[in-house]
Structure 1
Amino acid sequence: MKDDKILFNTLQPSINGIMKRFLTLLTCSLTLQAQSSTTPLLNDGSKTTLLTFQIPTNGEKTLSSVEFSGSSHLKDITEISLAHQRKTGNRLFATRKTIANSFALKGSLDLPPGNHLFVLTISLKSSANLLHKISLQPTKYNFSDGTTKKIDHISSRPQRLAYPIHKRGDYDCHTFRIPGIARSKNGHLLAVADMRYNSRRDLQGHMDIGLRISKDGGQTWSPPRAIMDMGEHGGKSQDQNGCSDPCILVDEETGEIFVAACWTHGKPGTHQWRGNGSEPGFDIDKSTQFIVVRSTDHGATWSKPENWTKKLKDPSWHLFAPAPGNGITMKDGTLVMPTQGRDAKGLPFSNITWSKDHGKTWHVSNHARDNTTECAVAELSDGSLLLNMRDNRNRADKSGTNGRAIAHTKDLGKSWVSHSTDHSALPEPVCMASLIADPYRKGTVYFSNPNNKRSRSHMTLRRSTDDGKTWSSQILLDTKGGAYSSLVMIDENHLGILYESSVADMIFQKIPISEFNEETSEKPLIQSLFKGERFPNIVVSKEGTLIATWGNRHIRARRSTDGGSSWGPEITITNPGFQGGGTTVDETTGDILAFVEENHPPANIFIYRSSDDGLTWKKETPTIRPDSQGHHPSMHMNDHGTTLRHGKYKGRLIRPTRFYAGKNDREKWPEHYTNAIYSDDHGKTWQTSEPFPENGTGEACLVELSDGSLYYNSRVHWQERPKNPRRREARSTDGGHTWKNFRIIDILPDGHQHRSYGCMGGLVRLPIDGQDILIFSNIDTPNATREQGTVWASFDGGKTWPVKRLILPGPSGYSALNAGRPGTPSEGYIYLHAETNNGSRVARFTLDWLKKGTLTGDGNIPSTPK
């Protein structure tokens, strides 16, 4: 059974999609390929797919058991089943009703040669506590002939429970869409949404505004009922009297509740946001109407619909409507509702509508921004308002300027100014989002949306503790899904979110505020990535995709699009091939360049270029000019390069290299030196720099600092010098052509301290404007072996390294580092890809975690990075 492997994928809602994905997997003997995702678990007693995994077999085998381990609240599981998935029909392998932290599912199942897909489903107790989580993974599988395979541990996060507000077809309703949620003055939660009876499509159609109420903080909910239903108004059928896009607002002083929505009368086959779906004027047969219902008893009863169109709409506008989600009561009692519309030319805009007399009279603000639509409003600690808007420009803009439009007003929308985070901090695929202020914590605001520029996926919660200037922590809720959402403060310690998910039309989840603190300083997420061979590297594409490469005979890559929570299958870049220093991202074009040598250097160098975030690679033969001494560089085994972002050399690609004097003969080591190559034409031609100031140096890493200078950190490769087992550094102010200010870095070890040459290390500068926070990786051990992978931090561009922390206990070796991209799921994380025992592991961690490490005595940790 030496070639048996196991593959598993956690929490995937679509079995067919999994089968298709697994058919394309490239597997390696005795390896585990895992794709772990975050997906809500429904607490309604229905069956939920928790895991899927494949067991490949070479010959006829009889599976006898699969062992599992878990943690968290496994007692919430009432039944667990494992089935063999086949086109000809599933075969049940085993079912179990009693679950412990470690258990086995036992059965007898004959398996022919091939790959066999298994599906693990669970049922949870009806109304299991929403604060509970489930964590479960397979650990070993056994065959009747006595053979067994242990599965390498894959670190995975516990999965959060959710209440299904609506699943397709429930309550004689096809779909719920467009959530809004608020807390009434008596503490009840009120969830409103479109009840779309016949299909999930937008207006026009048969749909009402529905309501569900929770009196216990979201744990249970009343059945849905329509609170806004225009019936067969004007003699037209229900499907020509649709109501949509609810916005709920609670007057915190009087307790009165307003739910606003838009109503289209007639106009079958149209859409209010397109063409003449809604026209200028007030005529209900031509213009979509702004209607409102009210409740004065915490949502128990509701008024008849009131038509506010003539009160609010400029008659020249095509459309004026509430923005779905929720409105707010300001600290001075002003009611504010986010609104949107189409102007006299039919172009969209966002603004607010407000009342200072508890809803008797309302005022419409000036436009905050054009070509924007659905928006959310929050009051900041100084009493001003922040408006966060869906922006149509993001349909085409998938670059670094993709992001929510954000404006700020101090005069209730008479004037607006662009916020510092406008089109930069919060990426979007063009979708509604939610924003609320925390009334218990000054300056704290929360935001939710699909954290993805290209698709409505990766539903994410973010927290800012400085009134939205920065977003310091985030919680991923749903990897595969997530569209419209609405946030509510349940109480001082819990946040609620109502959103469109991957597992149901609409779900509700309850999140302890304390989890944001856990996210900020969370323990590293460590996962096995590759088996066999050597030489790690890792980069982050412009879109935020992580690409880890590996191999000294067969160059492979694995990708993560969710910030390192899960990793896709292996992709072959080239076979055979020798990893020549990994990869470099061209920040101008977005291309990723992998450097490959034919064999151990010196050898011919090729570039494999990817223009699709590492999915496919095309071979190129670059022109690399020798240095001033006539020496040609080698790539092996230097860290990733970078694109210069500042000054005269902006756009230049540069990466560390080395000169081999002959082969890797020990007597030639004193003649070796490190250097760099750089390209000003996106990697077609390369110039080699002058040598590093010290001979006998080897693999290196470099970064650009905030002033445009370069910091270079090198391994040594020759024993006859003082302080040999410590790292070397130099700097460049001419774009990397010459290197000066040589220094031995006494605080940084270069491999273990018992032999003459060091160990490849990783280096990255965190993407924080104006700050030179560097992270370095290497091994740090008193023993004569490569072990104890460790990371260090510098807060002054490498002058001092005041703190270090062990991250990979046990065997370790070569390592590479990179940092997440702002505005992507990788934001705020640091990534270490390192050799371990017969393979590699990747560790995801944060600067806050590292700052809690061991002080080195070399400089100080600033309490707040300057």
Structure 2
Amino acid sequence: MKLYYLCGNYENYINSNTLNDMIKSSMKYAIRVSALSMLMFGSIGISAQQVHTAEWADGVERALVYRPGDYGSKFYRIPAIVTAKDGSLVTVADKRIEHNGDLPAKIDVVSRRSTDGGRTWSEYVTVAAHDETGGCGDPALVVDQKSGDILAIFSHGNGLWQETPAHISVARSKDNGLTWGPMLDINPQILTTDPSGKQPIKCTSAFASSGRATQLDNGRIMFPLVVREKENPCFKVYAIYSDDCGKTWMVSKNPATADGDESKIVQLADGSLIMSIRNRFGSLRKFSYSHDRGETWSDPVPVEGLPDPRCNGDIIRYNRDGHDLLLQSLPGDPNGRNNVAIYVSKDGGKTWPVKKTVVTIPSAYSSMTILPDGSIGILTEESANGHYSYDIWYTRMPIEVILAGDKK
């Protein structure tokens, strides 16, 4: 058995005898790995901290992308991933410099990219840095398929619980994630704090949903915006959209839900949209539908087969090699943030008969992309020690492995 680990950008080899000497009797993990498996080591010495025990099928590969302590940060959270026009993988995450709290903490949005399918990763690049206004966090990514530009959408300044909204901002890369331009504040186009105002949205605070933003088949770019109104304990979720590759932005005519949280949007084969909504109080994911490209939304309904332990995850359409599927990533434990899995629908989101577990440890937010070879790449927040401190791992899974589901 060959096991590999990554230290910075260098790949190292150890054999199974060395591994046994390292973990000894205190870590009794059974491992069967037929492809590339990744083992994370501590930042001091080479003491093993985590071993994944799933029985992976051929073709599954893993790599550690963001680790607490790297690049001058105590914590990392909130991953997003896309496949650029040149086939490279581009990721972003919150660099939570001092503690693991949300905005308005000292947070930067940082990026790493891979040009070999996720086996190795570049040095860190700062997309948006904290300043006197506050931190930058909760990033989402989307690729404009016409120009190849990558848009990073994030919040700048205040968090959800302050009395003035964060600045919803957009940064742009024109070179497949190698470099990023300055952030553009789009609040004047979408938000107002004037109680007498009409659309744009009246709110006390707001943030953009992290993970994947969406581009529709007509080029429209869209992301969900969570808003809080003063004296209202519930969060509304609107769709924000642009028809000119992010230069100008508009707001849906109504919220997709009057009581939601981080959400994602996916387009179906018939052109209709689903907004997959984090459920703040129930136990199932909620779906809202749009039949006019996101301008209006239906009342949300709970989705049987998609348990939701109040967590963020991605939904994407997989339309290639004879398949037309929806994939939804969420923690597979309905009672808590554990065991991130990929759920599969073959009927446009009506039923979700297939579940493939990605990891079997405490794990939370996740983001997915389709690789050029048709595999799925997923970034997951994973906790080696069960604490509120996450490593962010990348896993590459062939679609056949996902469709096979978990062994009964």
Give the TM interval when normalised to the shorter protein.
Answer: 0.7 to 0.9
Are 1:625 and 2:197 counterparts? no
2:369 is aligned to: 818
The secondary structure found in structure 1 opposite 2:401 is helix
Over residues 432-473 of structure 1, what are the superposed CA-to-partner deviations in whole Å (9 max), with x where a residue is unaligned? xxxxxxxxxxxxxxxxxxxxxxxxxxxxxxxxxxxxxxxxxx
Pick from 348, 351, 358 the counterpart of residue 807 of structure 1: 358
Distance of 2:199 and 2:220 partners within structure 1: 20
- CA distance 1:524–1:634, change in 2 (3 Å): farther
What are the residue-to-residue correspondences of 1:551-700 with 2, within 5 Å? 551=94, 552=96, 553-576=107-130, 577-599=135-157, 600-601=159-160, 602-623=165-186, 624-626=189-191, 628=199, 630-631=201-202, 634-645=206-217, 650-662=218-230, 668-670=232-234, 672-700=235-263
The secondary structure found in structure 2 opposite 1:598 is strand
Does the CA-based 8 Å contact 2:256-2:288 persist in structure 1? yes
2:9 is aligned to: 34
Does the CA-based 8 Å contact 1:591-1:611 persist in structure 2? yes
The letter of the residue matching 1:528 is L
1:319 is aligned to: none
What are the residue-to-residue correspondences of 1:119-130 with 2, within 5 Å? none
Distance of 2:110 and 2:48 partners within structure 1: 21
| Higher RCO structure, 1 or 2 (CA under 8 Å, sep 6+) | 2
Post-superposition shift, 1:588? 1.4
Post-superposition shift, 1:768? 2.1
Does the CA-based 8 Å contact 1:556-1:571 persist in structure 2? yes
- CA distance 1:34–1:636, change in 2 (3 Å): same
Are 1:148 and 2:45 counterparts? yes
The secondary structure found in structure 1 opposite 2:355 is strand
2:283 is aligned to: 725
Post-superposition shift, 1:33? 2.0
Over residues 542-561 of structure 1, what are the superposed CA-to-partner deviations in whole Å (9 max), with x where a residue is unaligned? 11111111105121111011
Post-superposition shift, 1:771? 5.2
Does the CA-based 8 Å contact 1:154-1:528 persist in structure 2? no
Does the CA-based 8 Å contact 2:42-2:49 persist in structure 1? no
Does the CA-based 8 Å contact 1:802-1:855 persist in structure 2? no
Distance of 2:287 and 2:83 partners within structure 1: 25
Does the CA-based 8 Å contact 1:536-1:815 persist in structure 2? yes
Post-superposition shift, 1:852? 1.7
Are 1:536 and 2:99 counterparts? no
TM-score normalised per structure 2: 0.76
Distance of 2:253 and 2:323 partners within structure 1: 28
Over residues 54-103 of structure 1, what are the superposed CA-to-partner deviations in whole Å (9 max), with x where a residue is unaligned? xxxxxxxxxxxxxx6225xxxxxxxxxxxxxxxxxxxxxxxxxxxx5559
2:305 is aligned to: 747
Over residues 480-535 of structure 1, what are the superposed CA-to-partner deviations in whole Å (9 max), with x where a residue is unaligned? xxxxxxxxxxxxxxxxxxxxxxxxxxxxxxxxxxxxxxx9x625322221122311
The letter of the residue matching 1:630 is I
Distance of 1:136 and 1:804 partners within structure 2: 21
1:768 is aligned to: 320
Over residues 817-847 of structure 1, what are the superposed CA-to-partner deviations in whole Å (9 max), with x where a residue is unaligned? 22123xxxxx211121121122211211122
Pick from 336, 344, 350 the counterpart of residue 793 of structure 1: 344
Q: How many residues align?
A: 348
Does the CA-based 8 Å contact 1:638-1:657 persist in structure 2? no
Are 1:738 and 2:304 counterparts? no
The letter of the residue matching 2:77 is R
The secondary structure found in structure 2 opposite 1:851 is helix
Over residues 726-782 of structure 1, what are the superposed CA-to-partner deviations in whole Å (9 max), with x where a residue is unaligned? 11101212111111263210211111xxxxxx1111111114288531110111225
Over residues 11-43 of structure 1, what are the superposed CA-to-partner deviations in whole Å (9 max), with x where a residue is unaligned? xxxxxxxxxxxxxxxxxxxx942355xxxxxxx
Does the CA-based 8 Å contact 1:524-1:845 persist in structure 2? yes
1:833 is aligned to: 379
What are the residue-to-residue correspondences of 1:333-412 with 2, within 5 Å? none
Pick from 2, 15, 33 the counterpart of residue 70 of structure 1: 15
What are the residue-to-residue correspondences of 1:81-230 with 2, within 5 Å? 101-102=18-19, 148-150=45-47
Distance of 1:136 and 1:594 partners within structure 2: 30
Distance of 1:622 and 1:845 partners within structure 2: 37
2:101 is aligned to: none
2:27 is aligned to: none
Over residues 194-238 of structure 1, what are the superposed CA-to-partner deviations in whole Å (9 max), with x where a residue is unaligned? xxxxxxxxxxxxxxxxxxxxxxxxxxxxxxxxxxxxxxxxxxxxx
Distance of 2:128 and 2:398 partners within structure 1: 33
The secondary structure found in structure 1 opposite 2:360 is strand
Post-superposition shift, 1:613? 0.7
- 4+ aligned runs moved over 6 Å, structure 1: 133-142, 151-155
Over residues 642-683 of structure 1, what are the superposed CA-to-partner deviations in whole Å (9 max), with x where a residue is unaligned? 2211xxxx1111122221224xxxx7432x111211101110
- CA distance 1:574–1:746, change in 2 (3 Å): same
**Percent identity over paired residues:** 28
Does the CA-based 8 Å contact 2:283-2:334 persist in structure 1? no
2:271 is aligned to: 708
The secondary structure found in structure 2 opposite 1:833 is strand
2:329 is aligned to: 777
Post-superposition shift, 1:139? 8.0
Does the CA-based 8 Å contact 1:581-1:595 persist in structure 2? yes
TM-score normalised per structure 1: 0.37
The secondary structure found in structure 1 opposite 2:361 is strand
The secondary structure found in structure 2 opposite 1:808 is coil
- CA distance 1:135–1:550, change in 2 (3 Å): closer
Does the CA-based 8 Å contact 1:777-1:791 persist in structure 2? yes
* Alignment gaps of 5+ in structure 2: 22-33, 68-74, 97-106, 192-197, 384-389
- CA distance 1:673–1:134, change in 2 (3 Å): closer
- CA distance 1:579–1:769, change in 2 (3 Å): farther
Distance of 1:804 and 1:137 partners within structure 2: 22
Over residues 257-310 of structure 1, what are the superposed CA-to-partner deviations in whole Å (9 max), with x where a residue is unaligned? xxxxxxxxxxxxxxxxxxxxxxxxxxxxxxxxxxxxxxxxxxxxxxxxxxxxxx
Distance of 1:660 and 1:750 partners within structure 2: 21
Does the CA-based 8 Å contact 1:673-1:694 persist in structure 2? yes
- CA distance 1:154–1:683, change in 2 (3 Å): farther
Distance of 2:328 and 2:37 partners within structure 1: 34
Distance of 2:36 and 2:407 partners within structure 1: 34
2:401 is aligned to: 849
- CA distance 1:750–1:791, change in 2 (3 Å): same
- CA distance 1:769–1:653, change in 2 (3 Å): farther
- CA distance 1:583–1:848, change in 2 (3 Å): same
The secondary structure found in structure 1 opposite 2:262 is strand
- CA distance 1:737–1:562, change in 2 (3 Å): same
* Alignment gaps of 5+ in structure 1: 1-8, 11-30, 37-50, 52-67, 72-99, 105-132, 156-518, 752-757, 822-826, 857-866
Over residues 579-638 of structure 1, what are the superposed CA-to-partner deviations in whole Å (9 max), with x where a residue is unaligned? 234211111111011123223243012211100111100113244334747336844433
Post-superposition shift, 1:805? 1.7
Does the CA-based 8 Å contact 2:331-2:363 persist in structure 1? yes
Distance of 1:769 and 1:140 partners within structure 2: 38
- CA distance 1:661–1:772, change in 2 (3 Å): farther
Distance of 1:855 and 1:707 partners within structure 2: 33
- CA distance 1:622–1:598, change in 2 (3 Å): closer
Distance of 1:528 and 1:135 partners within structure 2: 13
The secondary structure found in structure 2 opposite 1:848 is helix
